[in-house]
Structures are given as C-alpha cells and as structure tokens.
Structure 1
C-alpha cells in the first residue's frame, strides 16, 4: 500500500490553507489513490468520503514523524509559502527539518503550488539553496520569482499557478453583483475612517467584512464592524466558507489583504484590489503581468479604485483558469509519476 506524507499549514482555521488541502485531496481522488495520507495536524476536518485513509500526526511528535517519513513512498509540500522566515526562523527550520528527514531516507519530494520567501534571515536563504539542489526534489511553483530562483539550482521545476480553487472545479457559480456592495477581506488594521470616506465618495452603500483566517483576523474584523456599524451599512463579519462565496459573488468588487481571497475572487470573476505584499504581488503578477490594482495605503487605494472598472478582469480570469487547468494536469501527472 502506497503512503504519502502531505506537508502544509493545515488545520489552523485559515480558509486559504484549507482550500489547498482539500484541492490536494481532490487530486488524490482523481488519480484513484487508495493508500494512506499522513498529515501533520490534529484539527484537520475531512468532510468527504475518500478511498484513501488520512492519518494525522501531532506537530511535535518527532519520533512518530521520523518513523512515518522513513516508511513513505512520497513527500508532498502541498501549497503555500512554507519555506520562508518572514513569520519566524522557527517556522522555516521546522519545514526544513521535515525535508532533511525525507532527504536522509532518500525519498522523492514534490513542491506543489509553492512559493519561497520572504526571507529575513540569511541562514534560511542559504539552506534553501541546498534544499533546491536535492536531486529527488521536483516541483510546480506558483510564482515566477520563485521559479526563476529554483531554476538556478535545479532543472526539476516548472512554473504553474496556485491550485487552491481546484476543489471548486465541478461547481457552477453564478455572479449576482449588488449595486454598490463590496466585500473587504481583512487581515491588517487600517485607517478605516479614511477608507470609509473614500468608499462613500463612490457611493458604496454596503460593506461585508470577510474573515479568511479565523485565528488571526477575527478580532480586527469585529473591531471594524463595531466601530462603524452605525455610520454605514456594514454586515456582521462573515467567516464560513459558503457565506464567503455568497458575499463575494454579490460584490461589485473585493478589496483583499489575503492572497487566497484575491485568487478566489478572480476565479469567481469578481474584480479584486490586492494588498501589495511580496507574496500577493508575485502571484498576481505571474497570473497577469498587466495587473496593477495593488495598494499599500489609503492613497494607493484611491488609485486602484479609479482603475478597477477599466481593467479587463474577464481576460485575466480566462487566463488564470487556463493556467489553473494546465497546472492541475501537470500536478496530477507529476504525482502519478512517483506512485
């Protein structure tokens, strides 16, 4: 019986990471995998029935982790920027440790829908170079900067796109934009008074705060709601997946701090303005180099809003879906190669 060790930041109330996890499971189903999947998480929810079995391992049960990796056929890093030290060097070292164990036992390793960085520590970047030189490592990366960097050390990489929305591939969505209704996918605290003033100038009548990461973003979203609920029509923050989809489909446009909020909006065909951090910028520029609706502050937001109705989102959505389908096919074939 084949065994896969699936690595990701799963089970932490972040819809973006759970989308990646569920999309990976859908691809295992597609290739008719009937073995065992091991995941580091004690909170992962699996709502569908699969022919394969999913086993969870505690993040710090190192003896069990080592023994499991020793016995697997394939390790997959299943989406996200896991190899980075922006969050902390400790995070990088953890995923580097998993890689090192698999390398020690000469396991095949796949990087699926991965990006690298941002790096605040030179040690992490030095280690990344050694990781990329491992001859049994192969991958499909989700942004061009990470891809170009990886190609400097190995020919085992291809460029693709983020696969988080593959889980929705058999669902038909229908947009129903309500005039002057927008959604804001919140992660960061901002000068909300100034933002509301900007939105009022373009006659926005209703705002839905959306929480993708319940563990990190909920308090900020609730603060926003409580402070301004008497000044403008703001709905109570939405955090459940079905409600998030419903609100995005009703929005004229979306303002998103989080990458998967933007990717989900794009997939649904809803115009989106993206917060400009390194990860968001790299992925969206890889999808479409002409995309320029980024913001860092409130003044940038004015500029992005002024351009949003002229930007050809339908063309960008079509390009993304085509790239997504190609990445999906490449990923499935890559996984099948090693099983």
Structure 2
C-alpha cells in the first residue's frame, strides 16, 4: 500500500521533523510513504523517503491518485491561532483524500485552539469522516468526544523516537544546560533582556556550559545568537547548536543536565532523555505538558520581571529538581506506541 503523509514538513521545524521521523519509524513495512513537503529535496535527503511538493495542486492530486491511504502526521495541524488558513489547507487536503476514496487517518493530533466558527466546522467535518483517529492530549480527546467522534489517546510519538548521540558533545565542558527559546510577540525586548540576565546568573552559579538550540532556525537562531554573544567573557562556555536530524537533535539531551524550553518537542525530547526541565509556555500545548509532567516554569505572559527571581527558580530546579524516573519514561514511551498500533490496524 502507498500512503501520503501530510504535516508541517519541510519547514525547518525540528519538532515537526521529529514527528515525521517517528511516523516513519512506526509505519508498517508494507506501507510505502510519500511525504507532502514544502522542501521535497530536503525531506528526501533528511529522511530518505520520497517527497512531493505540498504547494503544487497538480502534484498533490497526482500523488493522491497513486495512493491508498492519507495520514495527517502528527502535531497541531487543525488550529487557527497561528493562521486561519491552517485548518482550511489541512482540512481541504483531508476532504480531497476522502472524496477520492482513500483510507484516511488523523494521527497523533493536537487539536486547537479553534477560535472561528468556520475552522471549527471544517475540523469537525474532517475528523468525523476519518477511518482512524489518535490524539496526543486529553483536551483534544474531549473535544472529539463532544463531537461524538471516537479516538484513541496516547502521548506524543516523539517520546518513542529513537535517539542517536551527537558526536563531540561529550567533549564540551560539564555540566551542560540546554536552552530553547523562540520568537513570539509576547517575548518582548524587555523579557529577552531579563532572560539573558537570568541565564548569566544561572551560568555564574553553576559553571555550566550553555547549549543554545534553535529548533526552528528561521524563528529561533537570532535569539540564540543574541544570548550567546551576551554572555561576554563566558561566551566560550556556550555554543549555538543547529541540528536538522531529529534523532541527533533528541540525542543532544543525553549529555544535558537541565533544559529550559519554550519549544514543546524540546521539552519532550529533554524529558525523555532524563533531563531536569523548566518551561516558558507560549501555547496551551506547552501548558498542558507542564501540568501533565509537573514541569516547573511560567506562562510567558506571567514571566517575572526580576531576573534574579527567574534564575533562583532555575537554580533550585538545577540543584534539587528531579528528572522523570526511568519507569515514568518507559511508561510514556510504551503508551506512545499506541499510535503505532493504530497504523498496524490499517
């Protein structure tokens, strides 16, 4: 069988590329994948899989005609907080696949926010006609239940993504702290300045090597570089690490003591590799993850204005916080494989 994999792929976002890598890892051997990507060549090189241009209507229709299954491949595809066009694009593709008679799967979805009547209607209609549905959080499961749509719930598939150690990381000074910030309208200049001062305080107190990891370089690299150069004389105890391979990206956290992250999948990768974590939430999915895993941190809009208050909490987590236990990690990995069982049932 041939399956079309549809997601936020080829956009240079480490979290979405990790979802694609996890999906390919879990896909049954008898299913041949073709990925809809914004950068087909990059996707083919990175994942060693056939890819097609997600922006070409002719290419999409041709790919669907040659396929048996259509899969929404994880993430928050059906949400209108970023853009109202997202549900229209992804819902339109799902509707097209359903109209062409393909078996359709909504896989490892996080639904919402949906602030418009139109996007809610499109989302409800698309999910209602899917042959299989799995979600990654209780809020999404409850929304579908309210719509009387059956789904299975399991942790995000990236928990189960197999990681690979990044060569050279172990030669870096220890301990190591990873930081993953991203641009956001609420991450104002004053807040960035406050966070940089807090990072300086944390580094001074711990002597840690700071790994600045832009998960989506187009959004994150400038902030990472700014932090790096702001460390001044301690900049030699800091590095900006840009890694596109999801398995190696996850493997970075094997050698990290603590992670401070805005990025949802950055927190998952760090926690799954046994790191202590602290979060700054800009999105309900990050807030839910903080609650589910009891991760310390703040909502971005409520970030303290005193950098000493921030660094003190980080230092407390660094010194006395606990990572997830091996049993907790194993349980999350095992339950994430429920998404694989859904694929095996096709």
Shorter-chain TM-score range: 0.7 to 0.9
Structure 2 partner of 1:105: 100
2:265 maps to which of 260, 270, 283: 260
Structure 1 segment 1-339 matched on structure 2, within 5 A: 2-28=1-27, 31-33=28-30, 35-41=32-38, 42=40, 43-46=42-45, 54-134=49-129, 136-168=130-162, 180-188=175-183, 189=187, 190-191=192-193, 192-196=195-199, 198-199=201-202, 202-230=205-233, 233-240=236-243, 241=245, 244=249, 247-276=252-281, 277-286=283-292, 288=293, 290-296=294-300, 297-298=303-304, 301=310, 302-303=312-313, 305-307=315-317, 309-315=319-325, 318-328=327-337, 330-338=338-346
How many matched pairs? Answer: 325
What is the CA deviation profile of residues 107-153 of structure 1, one whole-angstrom value per residue up to 9, with x for unaligned ones? Answer: 3222222101223434212322222322x342221111111111222
What is the CA deviation profile of residues 89-114 of structure 1, one whole-angstrom value per residue up to 9, with x for unaligned ones? Answer: 12221111111102222432222221
Are residues 157 and 59 of structure 1, via their aligned partners in 2, closer, same or farther at CA, if it must alter by over 3 Å?
A: same
TM-score by length of 2: 0.81
Asked if 2 retains the 8 angstrom alpha-carbon contact of 1:142 and 1:283, the reply is no
Asked if 2 retains the 8 angstrom alpha-carbon contact of 1:86 and 1:118, the reply is yes
The structure with more helix, counted as a fraction of residues? 2
Structure 1 residue 84, shift from structure 2 partner: 0.9
Are residues 47 and 221 of structure 1, via their aligned partners in 2, closer, same or farther at CA, if it must alter by over 3 Å?
A: closer
- Gaps (5+ residues) in structure 1? none
- Gaps (5+ residues) in structure 2? none
Are residues 185 and 33 of structure 1, via their aligned partners in 2, closer, same or farther at CA, if it must alter by over 3 Å?
A: same
Structure 1 residue 10, shift from structure 2 partner: 1.3
What is the CA deviation profile of residues 251-295 of structure 1, one whole-angstrom value per residue up to 9, with x for unaligned ones? Answer: 321101101111111111011111223111223434x3x444445
Structure 1 residue 304, shift from structure 2 partner: 5.6
Structure 1 residue 166, shift from structure 2 partner: 3.0
TM-score by length of 1: 0.83
Matches of 1:45 and 1:265, distance apart in 2: 26
What is the CA deviation profile of residues 12-49 of structure 1, one whole-angstrom value per residue up to 9, with x for unaligned ones? Answer: 22221111111111122xx3225353433423144576
Asked if 1 retains the 8 angstrom alpha-carbon contact of 2:229 and 2:235, the reply is no
Asked if 2 retains the 8 angstrom alpha-carbon contact of 1:84 and 1:119, the reply is yes
Are residues 193 and 311 of structure 1, via their aligned partners in 2, closer, same or farther at CA, if it must alter by over 3 Å?
A: closer
Asked if 2 retains the 8 angstrom alpha-carbon contact of 1:20 and 1:165, the reply is no
- Tell me how large the CA RMSD over aligned residues is: 3.0
What is the CA deviation profile of residues 212-253 of structure 1, one whole-angstrom value per residue up to 9, with x for unaligned ones? Answer: 112221122112222333356542311125875565333321
